Each structure stands twice: as structure tokens, then as C-alpha cells.
Structure 1
């Protein structure tokens, strides 16, 4: 099975699945498996963890249905398993008001650990939009991300795109400071 054969979306529906994606190491393992299958050793090398740790986290992801064995081969009498994502993308349930947004926390952690002086584009903009403009911008961002995901080549270096379009929590409207 190649990544071309994967279902488009895996919907997180159980607590076990949510716990599996909530861990930063497992998030990084899934990023490694996003474009091509890899063995436990390859995953450990790319994520920068011990082989035993890699194996533990992959087993949890496999048990939750997020990754699966896509091929095996025998190497010096040992069966080597290649793991891949169970789908092209993962959809998390809405965390609810005040709940932690796991993907954003992982994205910020990855951004903070990216090489100093490395190439990156980071921008925050505060906008005032109509409901229609808000919906249109969201749709355009999703379409742009999908367009570039289709252009992704596993032979090229990894790049992460993260965006969040949201209405911030309303703060006190009076001119006073924090209460």
C-alpha cells in the first residue's frame, strides 16, 4: 500500500485515539509517516528518540488505529515492519470553549524547536471580517493547504503549515485594564 491508497480523513472519535494524538512525540512520528512508510529504526532516527521509545509510541498509535503496517520484509531472520498513516489527514473533535487545542500546542512546540536562523515564515494578523469574509478566508486557506499538500514530494525537506482562523474570546469592552 502506498500513501496514494490512503483514505482522505481519519476522524478521531475515541478517548484512546485522542490520547494517542495528544503526545508530542507521537505527533512527530505521525509527521514522519505522513508521506512514506518507515520502520521503527527509521522513525527513531528521524524523530530523535531511542528505538525502544519509538516502538512504544508506534504501538500506541497502531492500537488507536492511526498508523498501520503496510509491508514487511525479512532482514537477517527478523521481520521488519513498515508503518504508514491510516489516512492522509486526521480530524480532531472541537476542543470546546476553553479546551486545549492539541494541534496548535504541537505546532508551537515544533516551531520553538525549529533551527535558529532557519528559514521560516511566521505572521499574525488581526482582522475585522464579515461572517461571509470569515468563511471565504477559511475556505481559501484550506484550499491552499490542500493544493500544496498534493505537490508535496517525500524527497524534499519537511515543511509545516499551521493556520488558525478564529474569533478571539470577548474581553471587557470598557477602557479599563485586566480585572
Structure 2
């Protein structure tokens, strides 16, 4: 059974409880693990290398903040296993919150760059609003296709994209060659 939320299910982070819940590194890692599929407390504890009781506490904090939900239950040997999943496939930052939170989260999960993998780039583009919108749409479609065709053949990579108006002064047009 795969009750993983789709990208159509979106949640916007706005409350202090949500930010506080995501402020702990174990809970941040847990949210990343739950992108894969719903998981039990025991599975989360094993994946995160932590005690089941500790994981239960962190799941409770995330549930109370509305970031994690019970996906389904399953009867096993006279007991009931609970499977937890993210509350939404896409979790966004409220526009008024700024990007600092996302930048810190991305930095916290980055592994040291190996010599063969220097993919972090700052690039400035001169785009019309229509071109910027089209670029964002293409990147979202690419990311959605990657998630849809997820066969775990490579290593996990994070994609933090921020397309923002940059404060870069524009030079006037260059003079024509031979002009005074």
C-alpha cells in the first residue's frame, strides 16, 4: 500500500508551531525520509538510527503541527502497526516568511561536495515575467517527472530553486562601434 501524498496536496508553512516542529534536525530528516513512502515508527527509527521512543516523540510533534498524518494501519500478530506520511506532497514556505528557512534546511542536509560533484551554482538571468514563469513551470515538470519515475537507481539529491528578482544594476546599452 502506498498512501504517499501527491504534489496536488500542498501545505503552506505559516504557523510558529510548524516552524518550531521543523526546527529540530531529526524532524527535518524524518520529513525527508517520509518523502519516499509511509513508514512505521520502527522503520523510521531504523532509517534514522534512533530509538523508537525518540522517534515517537518527534512524530507526535510533527502531527500536532499538521506536517505528518496517519496514512493507514495494519494488523500484525495481534497488534496494530501505524504508518505515517507527510501531510502534503509539496510543502511551501509562505511568501511573507522569506527564503532563509529553506536555505538553512538545504545547507543542513548537504553532504560535503565530492570532487566529481560540484553542482551548486549561482547564475543570473535576464528574464521577462513570462520567461520566468515558463522556467519555473519547466523545472516543476522536470521534478514531478523524476518523482513519478523514481526507481532509486542513483543517489538522492536536493533541488533548492529560488527564482527571484535580483538587485543588479543594469548598464546602459553599449555604444555602437565607431560612435563617439
With the length of structure 2 as denominator, give the TM-score of the two structures: 0.73
| Equivalent residue number for residue 136 of structure 1 | 134
| Equivalent residue number for residue 3 of structure 2 | 3
C-alpha deviation, 1:110, in angstroms: 0.9
C-alpha deviation, 1:53, in angstroms: 2.6
Q: Unpaired segments of 5 or more residues in structure 2?
A: 172-180
For 1:22-171, list aligned pairs within 5 A. 22-73=23-74, 79-96=80-97, 99=98, 101-111=100-110, 113=111, 116=114, 121-153=119-151, 158-169=156-167
Max radius of gyration: which structure?
2
CA contact (8 A) 1:17 1:66 kept: yes
Once the two structures are superposed, residues 48-106 of structure 1 have per-residue CA deviations (whole angstroms, 9 ceiling, x without a partner) of: 3333332221111111222122233455665432211122111221244xx45322211
Q: Unpaired segments of 5 or more residues in structure 1?
A: 174-179
SS at match of 1:59: helix
The 2-side partners of 1:153 and 1:46 are apart by: 19
Across the aligned residues of Structure 1 and Structure 2, the Cα RMSD in angstroms comes to 3.1
